[in-house]
Structures are given as structure tokens and as C-alpha cells.
């Protein structure tokens, strides 16, 4: 997903630059095909060129290639109708680059803790398989009664030495397969997305990320001239959070019945709702935007504010994650050391 997003962003940025420079669309794509260094992109652009040469519109050609989502195709379709393809491609490039930046931030924040955790688990595994049996031999020769903590560590070490690692790996593989199957279930996806939003710090981070992309996507669609009902449908289909997507569909139904977008947002953010998906400030800004006719600009500004909050929450999450991880690993390794040396300390007191 990350590589695909990177390629989409590069493709869109390069195409926007060439079209803005005055090159015809087909000539711009042919130029990109010659300079493409990724085989997948080169094949993709060649396919688009063939479709355009056969008389297909650009948005229809994009829909024939299983590489671009509904949002991308709808924005290009609206741009072709309005005649502002260069401006819309520029906004698409910004949107994709923003998504890529968010993914890069999350990956960067999790790389160090995951590396530390993996190394620590490896160290604990080595201790369990090779170090603890040595201490077990010493304790057996002494014939002393072992504390409960030491006895538990020795039993765990025997389990590891007798093939427990393979059982753990098999359980991990089976668990991942079951989880992948569950991820395809709509009810499980809804439950998962709901529970994630309720988590402390992480839930707020994910919520702000989703709202930032939601407002930015809706703003770009409205700026491109996509009607409100179609824009809400596209935003719902592009939402990676199923709960937010369902709320957007509900909003679209309300708007189709003559309700304003601000009132529709309030209806899905009522105090009786299980989760307040949309802040009151969003509904108030949308109401002002609908009255002034500048809804797209206000949504873009709100997206920038939410993006700043995402950066702040991500930094806070990183600052809290590292010490929490250090404490957890300290307790794990420290507990092993105490369990192995506790019988020796007790015998030293007896002597």
C-alpha cells in the first residue's frame, strides 16, 4: 500500500507539472512513459496511452486501470468537465503527498519501538533456552526449595526447550490467518474501527487523521465542481474507517432529503451517539461555509488545523511509547534476573 501510494503521488505530481506547462495530455503521458523507472508505472502509462488513442476520456481510462480509487477518477472526471485538469491534478498530488506523509510519520514513530521490542524478545528467548537451564542444573545440585517465581521461570524454560518456540510460531501464523479472514468481514471491520477510536491517545490520533483526510477530500471534490451528493458518496467510499464511512452515507441520505450538511453532521454527532465522530466546530464551520458559499475553502483550512493536531498527537504518542516500552522491558528482563538469583540470595542469608 505504501509503495502504491508513493507511485501514485509521483505519477500525479509529474503529470500535473507537464499539463500545467502546456503539454497535451497524451504527449505528457508519452513523455512520462519514456522516463518511468518503475516497470509497473511504465506498463500503467502505456495502457492509459492506448486507451486515450482509442478515443477514451482520461477519467474513463483511469477507471479501466485497477490502480486508481474512486476519488481519483471522480476528481479527474470533474476536472475534464470544468476544463481545469492541471489545477485538479495539483490538488490530487497534494492530497496523495499528505497521505504519504502521514504513513511515513507513523512508520517512523513505530520503527524504533518495534526494533527494540524484537531485539528484547530475542534476548529473552536466548536466556530461556541457554541460560536458565544452566541455573536449573545449579539449583538441582543444591537441592534447595525454589521460590514460586523461580519455579515458574524454570517451567517456562523447559517449555521453550521442548519445542515451545515452534508452537508459539504456529499459533502466531494461525492467528494471523484467522485475523486476515476476520478483516474481510464487514461486522468485524465495524467493531474494530469502533474499538480503535475508543483507545486512549491512539484513538484520538486515528480520529484526527481520519477527519483531516475526510475534510481535505471533501474540500477537493467541491473545489473540482463535484456536486455535494456525489462528493459525499465518494468520500464515504474512500474512507478507511468503516464507522466514518457509514456516518457519511447517513449524512448523504439526509442531504438528499433537503437537510443542510451542517445539520446532517449534527445528526451523526448527537450526544446520544456512541462516539462523537465530528466535532461541533466542524458543524459550525460548515454552517458558516454554506451560508457564505465558501464551504470548500473553510474545509481546506480545517484540514490544515486537523493536520497540525495530528502532528502534535503523533509526537505525544512517540514520547509516551518509548518510556512505556522501556519500563515493560525492564520489568521483563529484571523479573528474569530476580527469579534466577533469588534462590542464591536466600541461601546466602541462610549461610
Is it the case that residue 253 has pLDDT exceeding 90?
yes
Most confident of 69-73, 94-98, 115-119, 251-255: 251-255
State the chain's mean pLDDT as an integer.
84
What secondary structure does DSSP assign to 178-215, as a single string?
HHHHHHT-HHHHHHHHHHHHHSTTHHHHHHHHHHHHHH
* 256 pLDDT tier (thresholds 50, 70, 90): very high
CA dihedral 53→54→59→63, nearest 10 degrees, is -120
**Is residue 186 classed exposed, middle or buried when 0-12, 13-18 and 19+ CB atoms within 10 A define those classes?**
exposed
Is it the case that residue 348 has pLDDT exceeding 70?
no
Is it the case that residue 274 has pLDDT exceeding 60?
no
Give the model's pLDDT for residue 336.
84
Give the closest residue to 164 by CA, choosing from 137, 128, 132: 128
Distance CA 226, CA 255 (A): 15
* 312 pLDDT tier (thresholds 50, 70, 90): confident
Is it the case that residue 112 has pLDDT exceeding 90?
no
Distance CA 113, CA 119 (A): 10
Please, what CATH class does the domain formed by 202-311 belong to? mainly alpha
Q: Which residue has the cell 461486522?
A: 187
Is it the case that residue 272 has pLDDT exceeding 50?
no
Give the model's pLDDT for residue 287.
92
The residue extents of the domains of the chain are 2-68, 202-311
**What tens digit of pLDDT does each residue of 144-172 get?**
677 888 888 888 888 887 777 788 889 88
Greater confidence, 259 or 345? 259
**Which residues have a Cβ under 8 Å from the Cβ of 13 and sit 6 or more positions away?**
93, 97
Amino acid at each position: 500500500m505504501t509503495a502504491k501510494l508513493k507511485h501514485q503521488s509521483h505519477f500525479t505530481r509529474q503529470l500535473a507539472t507537464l499539463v500545467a506547462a502546456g503539454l497535451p495530455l497524451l504527449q505528457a503521458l508519452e513523455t512520462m512513459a519514456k522516463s518511468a523507472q518503475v516497470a509497473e508505472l511504465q506498463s500503467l502509462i502505456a495502457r492509459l496511452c492506448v486507451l486515450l488513442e482509442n478515443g477514451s476520456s482520461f477519467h474513463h481510462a483511469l477507471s479501466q486501470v485497477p490502480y486508481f480509487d474512486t476519488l481519483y477518477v471522480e476528481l479527474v472526471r470533474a476536472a475534464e468537465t470544468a476544463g481545469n485538469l492541471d489545477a485538479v491534478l495539483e490538488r490530487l498530488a497534494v492530497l496523495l503527498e499528505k497521505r504519504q506523509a502521514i504513513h511515513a510519520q507513523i512508520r517512523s514513530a513505530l520503527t524504533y519501538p518495534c526494533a527494540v521490542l524484537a531485539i528484547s524478545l530475542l534476548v529473552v528467548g536466548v536466556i530461556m533456552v541457554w541460560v536458565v537451564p544452566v541455573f536449573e542444573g545449579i539449583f538441582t545440585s543444591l537441592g534447595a526449595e525454589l521460590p514460586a517465581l523461580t519455579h515458574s521461570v524454570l517451567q517456562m524454560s523447559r517449555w521453550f526447550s521442548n519445542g515451545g518456540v515452534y508452537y508459539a510460531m504456529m499459533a502466531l501464523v494461525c492467528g494471523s490467518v484467522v485475523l486476515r479472514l476476520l478483516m474481510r468481514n464487514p461486522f468485524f471491520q465495524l467493531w474494530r474501527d469502533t474499538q480503535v477510536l475508543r483507545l486512549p491517545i491512539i484513538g484520538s490520533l486515528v480520529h484526527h487523521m481520519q477527519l483531516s483526510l475526510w475534510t481535505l477530500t471533501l474540500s477537493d471534490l467541491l473545489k473540482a465542481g463535484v456536486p455535494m451528493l456525489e462528493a459525499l458518496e465518494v468520500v464515504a467510499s474512500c474512507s478507511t474507517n468503516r464507522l466514518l464511512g457509514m456516518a457519511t452515507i447517513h449524512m448523504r441520505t439526509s442531504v438528499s432529503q433537503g437537510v443542510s450538511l451542517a445539520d446532517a453532521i449534527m445528526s451523526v454527532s448527537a450526544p446520544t451517539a456512541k462516539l462523537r465522530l465530528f466535532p461541533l466546530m466542524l458543524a459550525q464551520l460548515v454552517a458558516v461555509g454554506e451560508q457564505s458559499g465558501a464551504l470548500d475553502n473553510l474545509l481546506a483550512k480545517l484540514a490544515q488545523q486537523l493536520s497540525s493536531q495530528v502532528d502534535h498527537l503523533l509526537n505525544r504518542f512517540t514520547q509516551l511509547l518509548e518510556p512505556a516500552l522501556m519500563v515493560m522491558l525492564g520489568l521483563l528482563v529484571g523479573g528474569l534476573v530476580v527469579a534466577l538469583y533469588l534462590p542464591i540470595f536466600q541461601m546466602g542469608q541462610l549461610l
